[in-house]
Protein backbone atom coordinates (compact mmCIF):
# COMPACT_ATOMS: atom_id res chain seq x y z
CA UNK A 1 0.00 0.00 0.00
CA UNK A 2 1.26 3.46 -0.85
CA UNK A 3 -0.28 6.35 1.02
CA UNK A 4 -0.03 9.78 -0.56
CA UNK A 5 -0.98 13.00 1.16
CA UNK A 6 -1.38 15.91 -1.30
CA UNK A 7 -0.41 19.50 -0.50
CA UNK A 8 -1.02 23.01 -1.80
CA UNK A 9 0.85 25.10 -4.35
CA UNK A 10 2.56 22.34 -6.30
CA UNK A 11 2.86 22.54 -10.06
CA UNK A 12 0.76 20.09 -12.02
CA UNK A 13 3.81 19.19 -14.08
CA UNK A 14 5.57 17.79 -11.03
CA UNK A 15 4.75 14.10 -11.25
CA UNK A 16 6.37 11.15 -9.55
CA UNK A 17 5.78 7.65 -10.83
CA UNK A 18 6.64 4.36 -9.21
CA UNK A 19 6.18 0.89 -10.64
CA UNK A 20 2.94 0.59 -8.66
CA UNK A 21 1.20 3.91 -8.76
CA UNK A 22 1.34 7.35 -10.33
CA UNK A 23 0.25 10.52 -8.63
CA UNK A 24 0.22 14.26 -9.28
CA UNK A 25 1.33 16.78 -6.69
CA UNK A 26 -1.32 19.42 -7.31
CA UNK A 27 -4.30 18.64 -5.12
CA UNK A 28 -5.16 20.74 -2.07
CA UNK A 29 -5.15 19.13 1.34
CA UNK A 30 -8.32 20.21 3.11
CA UNK A 31 -7.61 19.47 6.76
CA UNK A 32 -6.45 21.92 9.39
CA UNK A 33 -3.00 21.38 10.84
CA UNK A 34 -1.86 22.09 14.37
CA UNK A 35 1.78 22.15 15.45
CA UNK A 36 2.88 19.70 18.10
CA UNK A 37 3.06 21.25 21.57
CA UNK A 38 6.23 21.27 23.59
CA UNK A 39 6.95 18.57 26.14
CA UNK A 40 6.01 20.87 29.04
CA UNK A 41 2.73 22.21 27.68
CA UNK A 42 0.70 18.98 27.53
CA UNK A 43 1.84 18.05 31.02
CA UNK A 44 0.74 21.37 32.46
CA UNK A 45 -2.44 21.38 30.41
CA UNK A 46 -3.37 18.02 31.88
CA UNK A 47 -2.89 19.48 35.33
CA UNK A 48 -4.92 22.67 34.86
CA UNK A 49 -6.78 21.99 38.09
CA UNK A 50 -3.48 22.41 39.91
CA UNK A 51 -2.02 25.36 38.09
CA UNK A 52 -2.96 27.42 35.07
CA UNK A 53 -0.37 27.74 32.33
CA UNK A 54 -0.19 31.52 32.66
CA UNK A 55 0.76 31.23 36.31
CA UNK A 56 3.39 28.64 35.49
CA UNK A 57 5.09 31.02 33.07
CA UNK A 58 5.09 33.77 35.72
CA UNK A 59 6.87 31.57 38.25
CA UNK A 60 10.51 32.19 39.07
CA UNK A 61 12.97 29.45 38.13
CA UNK A 62 13.21 27.70 41.51
CA UNK A 63 9.42 27.31 42.02
CA UNK A 64 9.17 26.06 38.42
CA UNK A 65 11.77 23.38 39.07
CA UNK A 66 10.08 22.34 42.30
CA UNK A 67 6.73 22.15 40.54
CA UNK A 68 8.12 19.98 37.74
CA UNK A 69 9.85 17.68 40.21
CA UNK A 70 6.49 17.13 41.90
CA UNK A 71 4.41 16.76 38.73
CA UNK A 72 6.62 14.73 36.40
CA UNK A 73 7.12 11.66 38.63
CA UNK A 74 3.36 11.32 38.85
CA UNK A 75 2.92 11.49 35.09
CA UNK A 76 5.94 9.66 33.68
CA UNK A 77 6.80 6.19 35.00
CA UNK A 78 10.44 5.47 35.72
CA UNK A 79 12.19 3.77 32.81
CA UNK A 80 14.58 0.88 33.27
CA UNK A 81 18.00 1.51 31.70
CA UNK A 82 19.94 -1.62 30.80
CA UNK A 83 23.66 -1.73 29.95
CA UNK A 84 23.93 -3.37 26.56
CA UNK A 85 27.00 -5.46 27.37
CA UNK A 86 27.87 -7.46 30.46
CA UNK A 87 30.82 -7.06 32.83
CA UNK A 88 31.31 -3.42 31.81
CA UNK A 89 33.13 -4.64 28.70
CA UNK A 90 32.28 -3.12 25.32
CA UNK A 91 33.54 -5.04 22.27
CA UNK A 92 35.39 -3.31 19.44
CA UNK A 93 36.47 -0.53 21.80
CA UNK A 94 39.68 1.25 22.68
CA UNK A 95 40.28 2.85 26.06
CA UNK A 96 37.39 4.18 28.13
CA UNK A 97 34.07 4.33 26.29
CA UNK A 98 30.50 5.07 27.25
CA UNK A 99 28.42 1.94 27.67
CA UNK A 100 25.58 1.76 25.10
CA UNK A 101 22.21 1.18 26.74
CA UNK A 102 18.62 0.12 26.23
CA UNK A 103 15.92 2.19 27.92
CA UNK A 104 12.75 0.15 28.40
CA UNK A 105 9.29 1.62 27.83
CA UNK A 106 7.09 -1.20 29.05
CA UNK A 107 3.29 -1.10 29.11
CA UNK A 108 1.39 -2.56 32.03
CA UNK A 109 1.28 -6.34 31.88
CA UNK A 110 -2.46 -6.43 31.21
CA UNK A 111 -2.03 -4.05 28.27
CA UNK A 112 1.00 -5.73 26.70
CA UNK A 113 0.52 -7.01 23.15
CA UNK A 114 3.52 -9.33 23.32
CA UNK A 115 5.41 -7.19 20.80
CA UNK A 116 8.71 -5.31 21.08
CA UNK A 117 10.26 -2.56 18.95
CA UNK A 118 13.87 -1.42 19.31
CA UNK A 119 14.11 2.28 18.40
CA UNK A 120 17.18 4.02 16.94
CA UNK A 121 17.16 7.81 16.67
CA UNK A 122 18.99 9.64 13.91
CA UNK A 123 21.75 12.22 14.06
CA UNK A 124 24.07 11.82 11.05
CA UNK A 125 26.02 9.16 13.00
CA UNK A 126 27.25 12.06 15.15
CA UNK A 127 24.64 11.85 17.91
CA UNK A 128 21.11 10.66 18.63
CA UNK A 129 18.04 12.91 18.38
CA UNK A 130 16.23 11.06 21.15
CA UNK A 131 14.07 13.97 22.30
CA UNK A 132 12.65 14.55 18.83
CA UNK A 133 12.51 10.98 17.51
CA UNK A 134 13.28 8.10 19.82
CA UNK A 135 11.53 9.08 23.04
CA UNK A 136 8.22 10.21 21.45
CA UNK A 137 8.18 7.03 19.34
CA UNK A 138 8.80 4.84 22.39
CA UNK A 139 6.05 6.55 24.38
CA UNK A 140 3.57 6.20 21.53
CA UNK A 141 4.35 2.51 21.12
CA UNK A 142 4.06 1.92 24.86
CA UNK A 143 0.64 3.62 24.88
CA UNK A 144 -0.46 1.06 22.28
CA UNK A 145 0.70 -1.90 24.37
CA UNK A 146 3.99 -2.39 22.51
CA UNK A 147 7.17 -2.67 24.59
CA UNK A 148 9.71 -0.20 23.21
CA UNK A 149 13.46 -0.24 23.77
CA UNK A 150 15.33 2.99 23.06
CA UNK A 151 18.82 2.05 21.87
CA UNK A 152 21.58 4.49 22.71
CA UNK A 153 24.01 3.00 20.23
CA UNK A 154 27.61 4.11 19.86
CA UNK A 155 28.25 6.69 17.17
CA UNK A 156 31.31 5.95 15.00
CA UNK A 157 34.53 7.17 16.57
CA UNK A 158 37.95 6.03 15.37
CA UNK A 159 39.49 7.05 18.70
CA UNK A 160 37.19 4.75 20.66
CA UNK A 161 36.66 1.86 18.23
CA UNK A 162 38.92 -0.62 16.52
CA UNK A 163 36.57 -0.53 13.50
CA UNK A 164 34.22 2.43 13.71
CA UNK A 165 32.11 1.21 10.77
CA UNK A 166 30.86 -1.83 12.70
CA UNK A 167 30.33 -0.24 16.13
CA UNK A 168 26.71 0.88 15.62
CA UNK A 169 25.76 -2.38 13.89
CA UNK A 170 27.24 -4.42 16.73
CA UNK A 171 25.06 -2.50 19.17
CA UNK A 172 21.94 -3.03 17.03
CA UNK A 173 22.62 -6.76 16.80
CA UNK A 174 23.29 -6.95 20.52
CA UNK A 175 20.00 -5.15 21.21
CA UNK A 176 18.08 -7.70 19.12
CA UNK A 177 19.95 -10.51 20.82
CA UNK A 178 19.29 -9.14 24.31
CA UNK A 179 15.59 -8.51 23.77
CA UNK A 180 15.06 -11.94 22.20
CA UNK A 181 16.96 -13.76 24.95
CA UNK A 182 15.01 -11.87 27.66
CA UNK A 183 11.64 -11.95 25.91
CA UNK A 184 9.86 -13.76 28.75
CA UNK A 185 11.08 -11.20 31.28
CA UNK A 186 9.40 -8.40 29.30
CA UNK A 187 6.23 -10.39 28.45
CA UNK A 188 6.97 -10.43 24.72
CA UNK A 189 7.17 -13.13 22.08
CA UNK A 190 10.52 -14.09 20.57
CA UNK A 191 9.05 -13.89 17.06
CA UNK A 192 7.51 -10.44 17.52
CA UNK A 193 10.58 -8.24 17.79
CA UNK A 194 10.88 -5.33 15.37
CA UNK A 195 13.30 -2.45 14.94
CA UNK A 196 12.68 1.19 14.01
CA UNK A 197 15.13 3.84 12.85
CA UNK A 198 15.09 7.49 11.85
CA UNK A 199 17.47 9.11 9.31
CA UNK A 200 21.00 7.80 10.04
CA UNK A 201 19.34 5.54 12.61
CA UNK A 202 17.33 4.33 9.62
CA UNK A 203 20.57 3.44 7.90
CA UNK A 204 21.62 1.50 10.97
CA UNK A 205 18.27 -0.31 11.03
CA UNK A 206 18.35 -1.06 7.30
CA UNK A 207 21.87 -2.45 7.82
CA UNK A 208 20.71 -4.65 10.71
CA UNK A 209 17.76 -5.71 8.54
CA UNK A 210 19.94 -6.78 5.60
CA UNK A 211 23.16 -7.96 7.33
CA UNK A 212 21.69 -10.20 10.04
CA UNK A 213 23.15 -13.42 8.59
CA UNK A 214 26.63 -12.31 9.68
CA UNK A 215 27.33 -12.15 13.41
CA UNK A 216 29.21 -8.99 14.34
CA UNK A 217 28.95 -9.94 18.03
CA UNK A 218 29.54 -13.05 20.11
CA UNK A 219 26.45 -15.24 19.87
CA UNK A 220 27.05 -18.41 21.88
CA UNK A 221 23.32 -19.29 22.04
CA UNK A 222 22.96 -18.90 18.26
CA UNK A 223 20.13 -16.47 18.86
CA UNK A 224 18.52 -15.18 15.67
CA UNK A 225 19.69 -11.62 14.96
CA UNK A 226 17.04 -11.13 12.29
CA UNK A 227 14.37 -8.60 13.28
CA UNK A 228 10.84 -9.78 12.57
CA UNK A 229 9.96 -6.45 10.94
CA UNK A 230 11.54 -3.04 10.40
CA UNK A 231 10.26 0.54 10.31
CA UNK A 232 12.40 3.09 8.48
CA UNK A 233 11.59 6.80 8.80
CA UNK A 234 13.22 9.19 6.28
CA UNK A 235 16.13 6.72 6.24
CA UNK A 236 19.56 6.94 4.74
CA UNK A 237 19.64 3.73 2.70
CA UNK A 238 22.32 4.15 0.07
CA UNK A 239 25.94 5.27 0.23
CA UNK A 240 26.08 5.82 -3.54
CA UNK A 241 27.22 9.32 -4.48
CA UNK A 242 23.93 10.23 -6.17
CA UNK A 243 21.72 9.21 -3.23
CA UNK A 244 23.59 9.29 0.04
CA UNK A 245 23.70 11.70 2.92
CA UNK A 246 27.37 12.60 2.69
CA UNK A 247 27.94 13.37 6.37
CA UNK A 248 26.48 10.05 7.54
CA UNK A 249 28.62 8.17 5.03
CA UNK A 250 31.77 10.06 6.00
CA UNK A 251 31.26 9.48 9.70
CA UNK A 252 30.58 5.75 9.33
CA UNK A 253 33.09 4.63 6.71
CA UNK A 254 35.14 7.76 5.86
CA UNK A 255 37.07 9.77 5.26
CA UNK A 256 38.52 7.34 2.72
CA UNK A 257 36.34 4.54 1.38
CA UNK A 258 36.47 2.07 -1.48
CA UNK A 259 33.79 1.18 -4.00
CA UNK A 260 33.47 -2.17 -2.22
CA UNK A 261 32.84 -0.44 1.10
CA UNK A 262 30.21 1.82 -0.45
CA UNK A 263 28.42 -1.19 -1.91
CA UNK A 264 28.54 -3.06 1.41
CA UNK A 265 26.68 -0.25 3.17
CA UNK A 266 24.31 0.60 0.32
CA UNK A 267 21.49 -1.46 1.69
CA UNK A 268 19.26 -1.34 -1.38
CA UNK A 269 21.91 -3.67 -2.83
CA UNK A 270 21.88 -6.02 0.16
CA UNK A 271 18.23 -7.10 0.11
CA UNK A 272 17.54 -10.84 -0.17
CA UNK A 273 14.48 -13.05 -0.07
CA UNK A 274 15.09 -13.43 3.69
CA UNK A 275 14.91 -9.71 4.47
CA UNK A 276 12.05 -9.11 6.95
CA UNK A 277 8.96 -7.01 6.11
CA UNK A 278 9.53 -3.26 6.03
CA UNK A 279 7.44 -0.14 6.60
CA UNK A 280 8.89 3.02 4.99
CA UNK A 281 8.17 6.68 5.73
CA UNK A 282 9.51 9.67 3.79
CA UNK A 283 8.62 13.17 2.61
CA UNK A 284 9.01 13.92 -1.09
CA UNK A 285 10.43 17.36 -0.27
CA UNK A 286 13.10 16.03 2.13
CA UNK A 287 16.12 18.33 1.54
CA UNK A 288 18.52 16.27 3.66
CA UNK A 289 17.96 12.62 2.72
CA UNK A 290 16.59 12.16 -0.79
CA UNK A 291 13.28 10.33 -1.02
CA UNK A 292 14.88 8.08 -3.63
CA UNK A 293 16.59 6.29 -0.74
CA UNK A 294 13.20 4.89 0.27
CA UNK A 295 11.97 4.42 -3.30
CA UNK A 296 15.04 2.39 -4.30
CA UNK A 297 14.81 0.29 -1.15
CA UNK A 298 11.13 -0.36 -1.74
CA UNK A 299 11.85 -1.46 -5.31
CA UNK A 300 14.57 -3.85 -4.11
CA UNK A 301 12.27 -5.33 -1.48
CA UNK A 302 9.52 -5.95 -4.03
CA UNK A 303 11.99 -7.48 -6.44
CA UNK A 304 12.76 -10.04 -3.75
CA UNK A 305 9.06 -10.49 -2.83
CA UNK A 306 9.55 -9.00 0.64
CA UNK A 307 6.37 -7.44 2.06
CA UNK A 308 6.72 -3.64 2.15
CA UNK A 309 4.49 -0.65 2.71
CA UNK A 310 5.34 2.98 2.17
CA UNK A 311 3.86 6.13 3.67
CA UNK A 312 4.84 9.18 1.62
CA UNK A 313 4.22 12.81 2.47
CA UNK A 314 4.46 15.53 -0.16
CA UNK A 315 5.64 18.01 2.46
CA UNK A 316 7.37 17.53 5.75
CA UNK A 317 11.06 17.96 5.05
CA UNK A 318 13.36 16.03 7.33
CA UNK A 319 13.41 15.27 11.03
CA UNK A 320 9.70 15.52 11.85
CA UNK A 321 9.78 12.45 14.08
CA UNK A 322 6.38 10.86 14.68
CA UNK A 323 4.43 14.06 13.91
CA UNK A 324 4.54 15.79 10.53
CA UNK A 325 3.17 19.28 11.29
CA UNK A 326 2.05 19.86 7.68
CA UNK A 327 -0.82 17.36 7.85
CA UNK A 328 -3.30 15.87 10.25
CA UNK A 329 -2.84 12.20 9.35
CA UNK A 330 0.27 10.76 11.00
CA UNK A 331 2.33 7.82 9.82
CA UNK A 332 2.81 6.38 13.32
CA UNK A 333 -0.88 5.51 13.61
CA UNK A 334 -0.87 3.77 10.23
CA UNK A 335 2.36 1.98 11.16
CA UNK A 336 0.88 0.61 14.38
CA UNK A 337 -2.07 -0.67 12.36
CA UNK A 338 0.42 -2.28 9.92
CA UNK A 339 2.10 -4.02 12.86
CA UNK A 340 -1.29 -5.32 13.96
CA UNK A 341 -2.16 -6.55 10.47
CA UNK A 342 1.20 -8.30 10.30
CA UNK A 343 0.12 -10.33 13.33
CA UNK A 344 3.08 -9.13 15.36
CA UNK A 345 0.71 -8.30 18.20
CA UNK A 346 -1.35 -10.71 20.27
Question: Domain extents for the chain?
Answer: 2-33+82-341, 38-76
Kindly report the pTM of this predicted structure.
0.80
Q: For 289, which DSSP code?
A: S
| 3 state SS of 213 | coil
| CATH C-level class of 2-33+82-341 | alpha beta
pLDDT tens-digit series, residues 292-327: 999 999 999 999 999 999 999 999 999 999 999 999
What does the pLDDT read at residue 60?
56
Reply yes or no on whether the pLDDT at 6 is more than 50.
no
The pair phi, psi for residue 80, each rounded to 5°, is -80, 130
What does the pLDDT read at residue 109?
87
pLDDT tens-digit series, residues 65-103: 454 444 444 444 568 999 999 988 999 999 888 899 999
**CB-neighbour burial class of residue 287 (10 A; exposed 0-12, middle 13-18, buried 19+):** exposed
- Which residues does 182 contact at the CB level (< 8 Å), separation at least 6? none
What does the pLDDT read at residue 64?
53
Per the CB < 8 A criterion, the answer to whether 261 and 208 are in contact is: no
Amino acid sequence: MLIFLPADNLNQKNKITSHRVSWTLNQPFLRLVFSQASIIEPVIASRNSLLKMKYFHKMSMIPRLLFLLLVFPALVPAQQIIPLYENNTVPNSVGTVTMPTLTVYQPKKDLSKGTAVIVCSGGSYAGRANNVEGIPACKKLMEQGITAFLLDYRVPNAKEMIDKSTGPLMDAQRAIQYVREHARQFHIKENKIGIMGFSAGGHLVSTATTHFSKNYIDNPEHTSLRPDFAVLVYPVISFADSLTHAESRRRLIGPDFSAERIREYSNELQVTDSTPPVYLVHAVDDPVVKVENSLYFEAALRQHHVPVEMFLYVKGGHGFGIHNPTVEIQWIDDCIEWIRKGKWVN
